Amino acid sequence: MSYLGVNHDKCILCGVCVDSCPFGALKITGKLEVLDSCRLCKVCIKVCPEKALSVAEGSLTKSDLSSYRNVLVFAEQRDGELAGVVFELIGKGRELADKLGEQLNVVLLGHKTESMVEQLSKYPVDSIFVYDHQELTYYRPQPYASALEDLISHIKPSIFLIGATHVGRSLAPRIATRLRTGLTADCTVIDVKPNGELVQIRPAFGGNVMAQIVTPNHRPQFATVRPKVMQAAELAPSHPTQVIYRELEPEKLLSNISFLSIEPKPKETSITEADILICVGRGLRKAEDLAIVEELAEKLGGMVAVTRPLVEAGWAPQTRQVGLSGRTVRPKLFIACGVSGAIQMVAGMSGSEYIIAINKDKNAPIFEVAHLGLVGDMYEILPALVEELGRTLTKSKESR
């Protein structure tokens, strides 16, 4: 592994390299110190007047793999309510733990956590580790990272899963850095080998490639998982669950962030919560034609979603976009209209319970994931479908 090496005998602490670093990764504290933010851009090497800097080679110390066991899931909460992704992680974590013959544990950080502990104990979890402190009421990076570092160092899980939410994406890199382990972000598929290696699959190169990543030498194996890509766990109230409360030292609860006030954001209707989605893609000729899609959505009691080209054209907001660069959805019914089925988009909706595809191209990739495919022009099929639904709804009302 390459890193920035400093020859302290040559370094005169002139500060030229510090001023030139675009990442703020160098600091003088009696001697020149290289921080974790160094990206080996080599700018400092070029400007150093004493040639005291160079790229060095070395190897990281391997973890003692035999001392790590079990699966750990982070139970994210906000205002005393557990995030939906937590139950998806419990479902996947239970599956991984069962394959390995190990335990599934959950860690909960917050204040006045009794109701959340009770809710978690109804799921197939073996142990719930709780840090209940007033300082953990709201997410703050330093105390949250300190609590998780404390627990992981104590119980040494082999696998640690956290939701790829705003909190998870802020928290996960901090913990991985503290623990000197790898991190795979935004996973869409997770499995485990018989030898305990976690197979982490995530989109790469703009979603054009699905990268398969393993962490053979370090533990814990750490991944953030996109919401709505895993099947949520089923209730298991008879499953025996142990609740363990842990304390954190007062100095580890300190933070340079203070909350002056909390202003709740108005709740918005999101495509991630819809049971029925009608998604339209490149097959739409102009923005005005969204009206027929919206009419179908209204008749079915669903919502309209779009693919990336329509967002880029300014025809729909990004909050309606399905795909890896948009929202991951898991509705009961997903109707794809004029959608080709690019891998980036399919990865964001393939977990839907039932998929209907409408496309003029019989070879469109979307048909490979559809349960029902209609080869034809959406401009002919959608109006006919709306008309038929109208007649059906009218007859239903008349028969009451």
Backbone angles phi, psi at 229, to 5 degrees: -105, -15
Question: Residue 210: what pLDDT?
Answer: 78
- When pLDDT is averaged across residues 84-107 and rounded to a whole number, the result is 94
- Asked if 240 and 124 touch (Cβ cutoff 8 Å), the reply is no
Kindly report, residue by residue over 300-322, the tens digit of the pLDDT: 889 999 999 999 999 999 889 99
Q: In this structure, what token pair is assigned to residue 16?
A: 């030229």
Q: Work out the pLDDT band at 360, boundaries 50, 70, 90.
A: very high
Between 262 and 336, whose confidence is greater? 336
Domain range 65-253, CATH class: alpha beta
**Would you list the domain boundaries of the chain?**
2-57, 65-253, 271-398
* Lowest-pLDDT choice from 57-71, 178-192, 311-325, 369-383: 57-71
Give the pairing type, strands 127-132 and 104-110: parallel
Q: In this structure, what token pair is assigned to residue 307?
A: 């693919």
Domain range 271-398, CATH class: alpha beta
Q: Work out the pLDDT band at 215, boundaries 50, 70, 90.
A: confident
Largest CA-CA distance found in the chain, in angstroms, rounded: 92
Question: Residue 192: what pLDDT?
Answer: 92
Question: Residue 397: what pLDDT?
Answer: 60
Judged against a pLDDT cut of 80, whether residue 62 lies above it is answered with: no
Q: Is 295 left (phi over 0), alpha (psi -120 to 50) or beta?
A: alpha
Evaluate whether 65-253 and 271-398 have a shared fold: yes
DSSP class of residue 289 equals: G
CATH architecture assigned to 2-57? 2-Layer Sandwich (3.30)
Judged against a pLDDT cut of 60, whether residue 59 lies above it is answered with: no
- Asked if 277 and 331 touch (Cβ cutoff 8 Å), the reply is yes
DSSP letters for 182-230: -EEEEESEEEE-TTS-EEEEEEETTTTEEEEE--SSSSSEEEEE-TTSS
DSSP class of residue 320 equals: G
